[in-house]
Structure 1
């Protein structure tokens, strides 16, 4: 269980939807985000399982780092059943409710990770950047 609010949140984007720099004002919205009505995000502690469960067959993933304080007013921590909480505890993920806007104003930095050799290798290399 997370004892505090995160400093950063992360959006994982498959290589089939390349993220170009400079970032536009508004990135394209994924089908799952459109259907849900919010942008699915992860904390740094949730990124490993998000990779394993939802991106296991992706060769590359774009990882967007978002300062929590840039989006805090529009974040709701929820699970798949709709249970909500004030912070990310076991099973609660950050969901961004801001009209599906994610772009240069929200994103601080971008990293491209390769699944070559498995996500553990990419996660090990990203440890200094992947901060809670």
Structure 2
């Protein structure tokens, strides 16, 4: 497996990402409990949206240059107890750096809106921004 250029963190609109990124964003409950920051590759984002953001109308998508965090990433299998099997999606990037994710790690932020009950249109509009 070759390393991706970028990896992504999805954040619900209930935890807004400020225009000016701080040095460290607050951790989600899942990340704090897990002891690492859950991330996705571009290929994994549709499944992450489906399993974790189906009831949200808006998400922030944080794009992180992989080379900046590579030394702190572990590629791990998703826990099927949380969202069931995620066949074909492979291992997920998990960031083990003491919960630090902010201005030093995040390259850019996009805001996606769910329409017609799904994320298809948002994914289509983001195609040129969502880099592999």
TM-score of the superposed pair, with normalisation by structure 1:
0.90
Structure-2 residue corresponding to 1:127 = 127
Unaligned runs of 5+ in 1: 82-88
Taking the aligned partners of 1:80 and 1:127, their CA distance within structure 2 comes to 25
Structure-2 residue corresponding to 1:61 = 59
User: RMSD over aligned Cα, in angstroms?
Assistant: 1.2
Structure-2 residue corresponding to 1:103 = 102
> What is the deviation of 1:90?
4.3
> What is the deviation of 1:80?
3.2
| Partner SS, residue 29 of structure 1 | coil
Once superposed, which parts of structure 1, at least 4 consecutive aligned residues long, lie more than 3 Å away?
A: none
Aligned residues between the structures:
123
> What is the deviation of 1:91?
2.6
Taking the aligned partners of 1:44 and 1:71, their CA distance within structure 2 comes to 16
| Partner SS, residue 129 of structure 1 | coil
Structure-2 residue corresponding to 1:70 = 68
Residue of 25, 28, 34 corresponding to 1:27? 25
Unaligned runs of 5+ in 2: 80-87
TM-score of the superposed pair, with normalisation by structure 2:
0.90
| Partner SS, residue 62 of structure 1 | strand
Taking the aligned partners of 2:129 and 2:62, their CA distance within structure 1 comes to 11
